[in-house]
Amino acid sequence: MNRSFYAVFSMPLWFLIAVWILLSRKNVIDDADIAMRIMLMDDIYKALPVPQSKFEQLLIEKIIEWINREKEAARILNSIGISAIGYCRR
């Protein structure tokens, strides 16, 4: 029962990462996009597999560290009142 609920209400990891790569191609993101990215990071965090080897453990630890760091930075950006971030060519 739990497994079927998981299958219905969550996305597989490869799909989430593909969405992440596609969404991150925008050169300007506003506050709605920031919220979307945080949600996507949460979903990726929940979809991470249990590591079976040393290499996978190292990889997943790095990803968890990165997600925690990004979420903390996003929280601070929110508290300042950021409306948008982006980049341009020189």
Partner 1 sequence: MKRLSILMLLIGLVSLSCASVYSLDFYSTVAGMRAAAAGRSGTAIYEGHNLFVMIWPHRGQYAFAVINQQGDVVDDLLRMVNANGVNVYRMSDLIRWMESNGFKQVDPKSLPVSITSVLLSQVMAAVANGSRALITPLILPAGALEYNPYPYVEVQQ
Cβ pair 78, 38 in contact under 8 A: no
**Is residue 33 a contact partner of residue 26, using CB atoms and an 8 Å limit?**
yes
Tokens 């409306």: give the residue: 83
Sign of the dihedral defined by the CA atoms of residues 34, 36, 42, 45, in that order? negative
**By CB under 8 A, residue 67 contacts partner 1:** no
- Return the residue of 11, 13, 36, 40 that touches partner 1, per CB under 8 A: 13
Q: Is 89 in the site for partner 1 (CB under 8 A)?
A: yes
Asked if 81 interacts with partner 1 (CB under 8 A), we say: yes
Q: Binder to partner 1 among 7, 28, 35, 58 (CB under 8 A)?
A: 28
Crossing angle of helices 31-47 and 13-23, rounded to 10°: 160
Binding site for partner 1 (CB under 8 A): 12-14, 17-18, 20-21, 24-28, 30, 34, 37, 49, 56, 59-60, 62-63, 66, 68-70, 72-74, 76-77, 79-90
